[in-house]
Structure formats: C-alpha cells, structure tokens
Amino acid sequence: MAKDYKKLAKEIVKNVGGESNVNSLVHCATRLRFKLKDKSKANKDVIENLDGVVTVVESGGQYQVVIGNAVADVYQAIGEVSNIKLDASNEEDNDGDKKAGFLSVAIDTISSIFAPMLSVLCGAGVLKGILMICTTAGWLTETSGTYIILYAAADSVFNFLPMILAFTAAKKFKANQFVAVTVAGALIYPTIATTISSGTNISFLGIPVVLMSYTSTVIPIILAVYVLAKLEKFLNKVLPEAVKTFITPTVCLAIITPLTFLVIGPIGTYLGQFLGTLYSTIYNFNPIIAGLIIGAFWQVFVIFGIHWGFVPVAINNIAMYGRDTMLAILGPSNLAQAGASLGVFLKTKDPKVKTIAGSAAVTGLFGITEPSIYGVTLKYKKPFIISCISGAIAGAIVAFSGASAGGIVILGLLTIPAFMGKGFTLFVIACAIAYFLSAIGTYLFGYSDDMLNNKESVKAANNTTDDLEVVSPLNGELVKLSEVSDKAFASEALGKGIAVIPSEGKLYSPVDGTIAVAFPTGHALGLTTEIGAEILIHIGFDTVSLDGKYFDVKVKAGEEVKKGDLLVEFDIDKIKAEGFDITTPILITNSDSFNTIKIAEVNSVKVGEQIIFLMK
C-alpha cells in the first residue's frame, strides 16, 4: 500500500478506547462505523487530527470515523493490527442498543443490514443502465445471448434479494446465517412460485395460506430473521448440548418457514406496500415540492446518519414498481456538494484549503460527499447552504421530469446510466445545474480567504506572542510525569507535561481558552488555547470507571473559560477509598507543535503558579 494504513489503523484503534472498547466494526463507502462500549473512552480530537481522517461523527448509535476513498484499506489494516473481528458483533452490542434511543437503534439496524450489500446493488444498477443504453443505441437486442446473460447478472441481486437480506440480517440479529438463507430460499422456491402463478389455493395443517410473491421483497425476510434469532436463542438455551447442533436448525426451519408464509410474510408485504403507497402519495401530491424538500435536506440527513432510513423505501419502490424516483431526486445534491468544493478550490489561495477542496471536488463527482461536507462545506457554512439550495432547485427539476433510478445507486459520473429512461435528459440538465450553480454561487458568495485571515486577526489581537504560560489547576504536590503509575502517561506517548497530587478537590482552568472536551464522567477535560495548545487534564487513573460518581463538572464542551475558573469539583477521600490513584497529569497533547516546552521543578504548588511554559 502506498500509504501506511497500518499506522493509521493502530492510532484509530488506540483512540477509540482500544480494541477491548469495540463491540463491532463495519464500514460503508467512506466511514468506519464503530459500536463502542464506552464512547467517553474515545478521543475524538486526536482521531480527527490523524493524517488520513476527515472527521468523526457520532450518529445512529455509532462512532463513525470518516476516512474517504481509502476506508476499505484502513478497515483491512485494522483487522491486521488488532483482534477486532471485522463485520462481527458481540453480545454486548445488544446491551448498548437497549440503552440507546429508538431512532438510534432503528438507524443502526438498517445500516447494519443494508450497508454490506450497497456496493453490489450499485453495481447491478449501473449494469442495468449500461444495458439500457446498449439496447436504445441498437448495439444489443433483448433476445441476444449477451444481453440475456448480462441482464441476469444485473437483475439477480434484485430477484434473490430476500436471500441476501437474510444473510446480512442474520449477522445483525445473531441468527444462524445458513438457516436464515434457507428460509429466504423457501420464499422464492420454484414450486412456490409456480403455485402462486397458477392461482392454486393451498393450506398448512388446514390453515389457508395467503400466497404472494416474495421475489425482490425487503421487509418480510427481515421480520422473519428477527423472529428466527429469538427462537434460535431460546432453543440453544433449553436443548441439551449434544443435540442442539442439528435439532435447533430443524425446529427453526419447521416453525419459521410456515410461520413466514402464514403470518410474517403477509404482514411484511402489506407493510412494504403501505410504505410504497405512502411515498407515491406524497410524490404524486406535488412532485416539485417533494423534490425541493428532498433535494434541500438530503445532505443534512447524511450528516445525522438518518439517510439510512430511506434505503428500504427505495429498495421497496424498485421491488414494487421496477424503478425509484427518490434516488433520482436526491442524486443532484451529491454533485452540488462537489460543486461547492470546486468553488472553494477556485477561490482560495491557501495551499492547505486548496488541497482539501480539490480532492473533495473530485471524490464528490463519484458520489462520495463526506470529504466535501466535513472537510469543506460545513466547515465554512455558506458553501453548505448554497449547495443545499442548488440541490433543492435541481431536485424540483428532477421531480418535475419524472426521472427515476433502475437500481440502488449513489449518483456519480459512473452511475448516471442507471437513470436512463423517462426524464433522463432533464435529469442530466438538473445535475449540471446543481454542480455549476453550487460552484459559481460558492465562488461568488460562499467563500473568501478572509474567513481564514479573520481567525488569524483574532489570534493576533489576543496574543502578541506565541508564548503560553500554563499554571497549576490544583493545589498539591508536583510529580514528574515519568514517575506516575500509568505507563501511557509516564511514557509521554500522549504528550509532555507534569502531574499534581491534589490536596483539594477543586480543579481550576490553567489557561484562557475553550473547553474542547468535557467528559460527563468528570474524570478528564480537554482545553484549547488561542495559540493552538491542546491541554488534557486527567483526574486520577482509571477513574472513568466511577462513571461520574464523586465528580461535579461545572463546564461543558465549547464553553469559553478564563484562567482560574472552576472547572470540576471532586471528592478526593471517596475516590481514594474506592482504591483509585488520584494523581492528576496535565499534558500538552500536541507537544510537537512547540519548539520549547519548559516544565517546573518538582515541588509543592498552588493554583495559579506556573508549571509549564510553551513557545512556538
């Protein structure tokens, strides 16, 4: 690999709290999606500053590290440098879900089931679009062997969709994947399909069966696998170890398959039809308004991770109608993000901004918008607003045209063929409008290097030098960092600094700055200063396990503080009684950014006395 992905992987694993803090890990097109046992152990600031990381997003019950195009390489590297099981989840994951809200659980469940299969769905959609171009241009006929074979490759993923969903749903719900796929196979078994097409009435143990086609369906098999997981878990608890290997799958197949045909399947099918009808009703009521809303807010949905909730609707639409208009409407918003990044790229003279914006502008053309969103448009705000407005205008045009997607695809230059059909010409025009309107609008109104210069002016006004005096936040005894009991701190791997053994349970701000991180457990705080110093104060060792007991945090993240402001109160005696070392390190976590770091001599110290001096 051209880049050292293993080094990046090690840093990410370390700063999400170590592999022992990871319940599960999957990835999508641009993000590593962690399920963590304790999010307070993750160091968001450190991860975001790693070379190769775009940003960190906490959404849908997941700790998402946005990488960009190299996400698959980093994902594989994590598997090589750690014992984290890729694509696996542990029992603790369920406990985390119980603590999370319903929306977080729902989004996490949907993304876990659909994310692994999106690449093949996109590939199949693009192949269908190419075949449509070939038949329209007269290069192929629908009766030719070439077309028949390639169409079978493109359509099989949709025809046998229940079997693919059974596999991913079983992984999420912790059911036997082979039993789940077998149940799905029964739903689309040739004899069943023949019986349905002939209109023959059948019954199971005298109970009439409502026969309906489950080819390309989404909801019935997911519900069936969920019930399968519950039954399987019960059987594995009550059956003797010697027979559960073959008795459990036997009982599951004998119960879940007929139960799906009798109850689960019809309920799931009617629910899917309801979702499809609901979307069609909204769309048909006023397509232009629907296009404006979806086009304007789609990238906002992406930021919060709730865009996953729309994936089943799109798949369901394709299963019911053969095409989906929603994917066409939201598609131009991707190009609007790319256009905004292009506008910043053309306008800025700052080398760093130009590099980031240029890269984001290119990846956005291929449907990967996270680098644009987190690296450029959200950062400067106005470009994001302009891109949303451009996406809204283009979305309204697409909705008016009636354009639709023939498969589940993320719009980019390579996937445009998937939108061939009704309204295609106007769809392409709308995509161009989204891209160029966003680029021009951003260039003219959305960005200026003054945004950077203003920040530097503020810094210059408040700081005549690049020196910083860090004072003691505690009363107590100074201890060399190398002498503390925790090796991570003693080795200075987290940064240079000093430690205090406090004599009083009050922690004050050692600098004028901003609270970057305020852990709700109260055991640690991060501050940043105007000259860019990043300071970490960690009250005691392993005190995070107290889960906030004996700590009273007085500030919150984002709050401006002055030197000497009270930040945390804590009960030293009770913390010690629990068996914890109360020694408190004060670290400069970005020590490499300073040419000079002077540490005070070991001695008793009072709040407000200098303990560290920094110079750039």
Smallest Cα–Cα separation from 2: which of 47, 65, 69? 69
For the stretch 210-242, what's the b/e string if a residue is b when 16 or more beta carbons lie within 10 angstroms of its beta carbon? ebeebebbbbbbbbbbbbbbebbeebeeeeeee
- C-alpha 12 chain-centroid distance: 15
For the stretch 419-453, what's the b/e string if a residue is b when 16 or more beta carbons lie within 10 angstroms of its beta carbon? bbbebbeebbebbebbbbbbbbbbbeebbeeebbe
d(CA 98, CA 470): 43
Tokens standing for 278?
Answer: 């609901």
Instruction: Say if CB 561 and CB 515 are below 8 A apart.
Output: yes
Active-site residue, selected from the candidate residues 27, 307, 523, 538: 538
Tokens standing for 108?
Answer: 């996490």
Proportion of the chain in helix, strand, coil states, percent, rounded to 5: 55, 15, 30
d(CA 366, CA 413): 6
Active site residue 28: yes
Q: Which residues contact 124 (CB under 8 A, 6 or more apart)?
A: 153, 154, 155, 156, 157, 158, 407, 408
Q: Within 10 A of 160 (CB to CB), how many other CB atoms are there?
A: 17
Integer Rg of the chain from CA: 28
Q: Within 10 A of 329 (CB to CB), how many other CB atoms are there?
A: 31
Q: Within 10 A of 598 (CB to CB), how many other CB atoms are there?
A: 11
Helix/strand/coil for 67: coil
User: What is the four-CA torsion angle of 121, 126, 127, 132, rounded to 10 degrees?
Assistant: 130
CA angle 11, 14, 18 (to 5 degrees): 150
Smallest Cα–Cα separation from 517: which of 56, 107, 64? 56
Smallest Cα–Cα separation from 392: which of 343, 333, 327? 333
Instruction: Say if CB 504 and CB 522 are below 8 A apart.
Output: no
Active-site residue, selected from the candidate residues 27, 28, 388, 431: 28
Helix/strand/coil for 9: helix
Instruction: Give Dmax (Cα) for the chain.
Output: 91
CA dist list (Å): 463 to 60, 316, 457, 469: 40, 58, 10, 12
Within 402-465, residue ranges assigned H as helices are 424-441, 450-462
Tokens standing for 386?
Answer: 């302009």
Q: Within 10 A of 193 (CB to CB), how many other CB atoms are there?
A: 15
Smallest Cα–Cα separation from 298: which of 341, 333, 252, 350? 333
Secondary element (H or E) of residue 538: strand 534-538
d(CA 506, CA 495): 23
CA angle 572, 577, 579 (to 5 degrees): 105
Instruction: Say if CB 478 and CB 505 are below 8 A apart.
Output: no
Residues labelled as active-site residues = 28, 538
